[in-house]
Amino acid sequence: MFFRSARRLVAQLLVLCLLTSCATTNVPPISAVGQGFEPTRDETRLWQNSREEERKLLEKVTIYDDPLLDDYLLAIVGRLNPPAMAANPLISYRVRVIEEPTLNAFAYPHGSLYVHTGLLAQMENEDQLATVLGHEMTHVENRHMLRYQRSARNKQVGLFALAVAGALWAASESAQAARRGHYGKAARIDVLSDLLIGLGLQLAFVAAVNGYGRELEREADEGGFTKMQASGYDTRQAEKVYQKLAEETSKPSKIEAFFFGSHPRIEERIASAREWGRTHPSGEARQTDAGLSTFEKRLRPVIRDDAALNLDLGRLGRAEDELRRALAMEPRDPRTLSLIGRLKLAQAEQTDGEARADLEAAAQDAFQQAIEIDPRDPTPHRELGLLAYRRGDGAFACRELRTYLDLSPAGAEDRTKIRDYLLELERDGHCR
Ligand SMILES: [Zn+2]
């Protein structure tokens, strides 16, 4: 019995070895092969799996819908992409933005790149964006998922075991955060554990959370620098991206900083980026024409909208920072002003006395400015109305809440609640 099953086991291991573990991790980058590039058999399977996984991912996450931004990101990718990589007919890049205020980006091996709104909102210029995209593109071009998978199999550590370990870790972090009362934070992390546990998105786990290991991550960094330099980007900006991530990882919410993988190494990476910058001449930071640069025009909406996500999570510091930047780029965007109003209200709730009154006044100001620019947006009317209600200014509250009901779509979630307020105001004779 034992003997027979042992023999079967040996046979199975042998087959497994033939299929996988004997495969070399020494594969050339796609750009080194160029037009004649053909995926290996296990690579074809890997691409199929990653397309399958991507479909599940897309059902789960919210894609940030901004064709101008997508276009801009793809143009940067096009500029970074070496001609020999662009020449292969089998892989072309596609970039999508995920509505997530966390600092992350990842790539599927068949060329799908993902960037979170949270990471985009932290970028200060196109060269920093190129740092992120160049790194992710190198994972694809240098076939890191294939190499990772082969080496993981060689070491008999299945991707699945890693994924489960990661999911358990994320789930326990999430539970701890919830116990500490950080529900917003827990909700964030749950998106990730959902992906890992519910869907078993092993490739996303490796690409987005675990990283590909020290050697391949370093290769991705250097591949990114090389592409940046070849296309005239300022590689000195790479160091700033890493520094930002280092700051993020030093905060208590370190779980969110996944981009570039393992955290203890971040200092080493800052140093190697600096060293690379020293030894390679670099493009100047690209200066722009008068007015807003293309970078600012394309990124401003996502910086603003990421602030809304942070507001919902109660991450007021991050939201304030983003709104300040969005406002500096465009002082008359009613949505930015409306969000600033919401921020001030949230800040007011955390204090009292004079400070609270000041913040509420600032909120009122911001909502009124938003209305002056766009009187058809219902949200600031609702907020002004509720503020007035709390203050005891019934007539004003009545007018604004009525305007809100006139303007908001029939399916708006809070219409019933607002109607209740109005009924009460009418009953008490405030709505003449
Ligand atoms: Zn990476």
The pLDDT of residue 104: 84
The DSSP call for residue 287 is P
Report the Cα–Cα distance between both ends of the chain, in Å, rounded: 91
The pLDDT of residue 1: 39
Residue 223 Cα to ligand 1 midpoint, Å, equals 11
Residue 118 Cα to ligand 1 midpoint, Å, equals 17
Chain centre to alpha carbon of residue 251: 18
Residue 149 Cα to ligand 1 midpoint, Å, equals 15
Residue 220 Cα to ligand 1 midpoint, Å, equals 6
Domain residue ranges of the chain, discontinuous segments joined by +: 25-279
Residue 299 Cα to ligand 1 midpoint, Å, equals 23
Residue 132 Cα to ligand 1 midpoint, Å, equals 9
Residue 71 Cα to ligand 1 midpoint, Å, equals 23
The span from the CA of 170 to the CA of 183, in Å, is 14
Residue 212 Cα to ligand 1 midpoint, Å, equals 7
Residue 210 Cα to ligand 1 midpoint, Å, equals 9
- The residue among 222, 234, 232 whose CA lies nearest residue 124 is 234
Using DSSP, state whether 314 is helix, strand or coil. Answer: coil
Residue 65 Cα to ligand 1 midpoint, Å, equals 25
Residue 337 Cα to ligand 1 midpoint, Å, equals 36
Residues 269-290: tens digit of each pLDDT = 888 888 887 888 665 655 545 5
Residue 133 Cα to ligand 1 midpoint, Å, equals 10
Residue 333 Cα to ligand 1 midpoint, Å, equals 35
Residue 263 Cα to ligand 1 midpoint, Å, equals 12
The span from the CA of 115 to the CA of 246, in Å, is 18
Residue 140 Cα to ligand 1 midpoint, Å, equals 10
Residue 107 Cα to ligand 1 midpoint, Å, equals 8
Residue 137 Cα to ligand 1 midpoint, Å, equals 9
Residue 23 Cα to ligand 1 midpoint, Å, equals 23
Residue 136 Cα to ligand 1 midpoint, Å, equals 6
The span from the CA of 14 to the CA of 22, in Å, is 10
Residue 58 Cα to ligand 1 midpoint, Å, equals 21
Low-confidence ranges of the chain (pLDDT < 50): 1-18, 20-21, 156, 178-190, 193, 253-258, 260-263, 288
> DSSP for 92-157?
--EEEEE---S--EEE-TTSEEEEEHHHHHH--SHHHHHHHHHHHHHHHHTTHHHHHHHHHHHTT-
Residue 21 Cα to ligand 1 midpoint, Å, equals 23
- The residue among 295, 135, 302, 160 whose CA lies nearest residue 218 is 135
